[in-house]
Structure 1
Amino acid sequence: MYQQTLPPSSKTVLAILDTGGAMTHKDLVQKSRLAPRTVRYALKKLKERHLIIEKFNFRDARQIIYQNRPLNSTESQPALV
């Protein structure tokens, strides 16, 4: 579906967040074995498509926690071009 239009790196990051739950950028780099810049690009593409959300990390304010956006039954899937 929507994953067909995503770059391979974004698909990898999305799959890691699906299985591993919320993670920081550093965690995603370690789990994916992708370059930090590639993970940043993947996160950017996922944010543009509203597939992930960013949360404030109360343990370390310098880091952001990324997680999949929960899909509500009343919420329609965003249009991807």
Structure 2
Amino acid sequence: KVYKRFNAWSASGKWVKVLMTDPDMEWVFIDGSYAKAHQHSAGAASTQDQAIGKSRAGNTSKIHLAVDACGLPI
């Protein structure tokens, strides 16, 4: 999926537009990742909402990190 999307964006010129745009380096989100959760993490009895949900890969939680222009977490 990643290759197909990257290739389509490249063919349509979206990457050229993204790379030629003057970035606002105060707010940039570079990467996100999925953290695999234990199989029992979503089934515990609790009244609090959790950021763990079902997906094709099982119980996961998507994690993002916001950084400043120097790459330091904010």
Q: In terms of Rg, which structure is larger? A: 2
Higher strand share: 2
Q: Please tell me the TM-score bracket, short chain as reference.
A: under 0.3
TM-score for both structures, normalised by structure 1: 0.22
TM-score for both structures, normalised by structure 2: 0.23
